[in-house]
Amino acid sequence: MKLKRILSGSLVAAALLLSGSSATSPSEAIDGLAVGATVPEVKSLVVQSDGSSEAASYTLIHFWAAYDGESRAGNVRWSRYFAKRPDSRVRYVGVSMDKNLSVFTNTLAFDQIDLSAQRLVENSKRDQMLNIYGLKIRFHSYLVDAHGIIRAVDPNPDRLETIL
């Protein structure tokens, strides 16, 4: 009798654990996309950032926000990196998740960042972008090839040089 209660209790606990583990839809990336995944909307991010559709072999997409110090510092680091080392093989796009245009522009002015490689996500698309790109826990950088395939996640400058 005691064994029967233990077994039934274990089955109930297992069922609860299994049902609770699928709380998010499979289309949502909780903590980022993986190498080899296809990035949606990569062409629109690149075209909208600098007005051209000239294709580079790679695009480094860095998501950031003024309220997130680590991602903001990453935007400064990558912007300065590409300003000092222009490379026709890779294009940089900083994508701000800020909700306010003035916060976005004032932050870029304060950080002395050129607007040409920056994009502000529309408020109507913000939640969708946070879900698709796995930005709910933290912001990421994705090195994406010309076909929209992720080749590196959160690369540093040394890793970028190795890939190129």
Rg from Cα positions in the chain: 20
Residue 16 lies in a domain: no
What local confidence, expressed as pLDDT, does residue 3 receive? 52
CATH number of domain containing 129: 3.40.30.10
Token reading at 77: 């680091």
pLDDT tens string 24-73: 333 344 466 777 777 776 555 554 444 454 567 899 999 999 999 999 99
115, part of any domain:
yes
- Domain containing 129 equals 29-163
Q: Tell me how far apart the alpha carbons of residues 158 and 163 are, in angstroms, rounded to a whole number.
A: 9
Q: Tell me whether residue 20 is in a domain.
A: no
> Is there a domain that residue 9 lies in?
no
Residue 85 lies in a domain: yes
Please tell me the total count of domains within the chain: 1
Express each pLDDT in 100-140 by its tens digit. 999 999 999 999 999 999 999 999 999 988 888 889 889 99
Each residue of 66-93: pLDDT tens digit?
A: 999 999 999 999 999 999 988 888 999 9
Total-model pTM? 0.74
Given CA atoms 78, 83, 89, 91 in this order, what sign does their dihedral have? positive
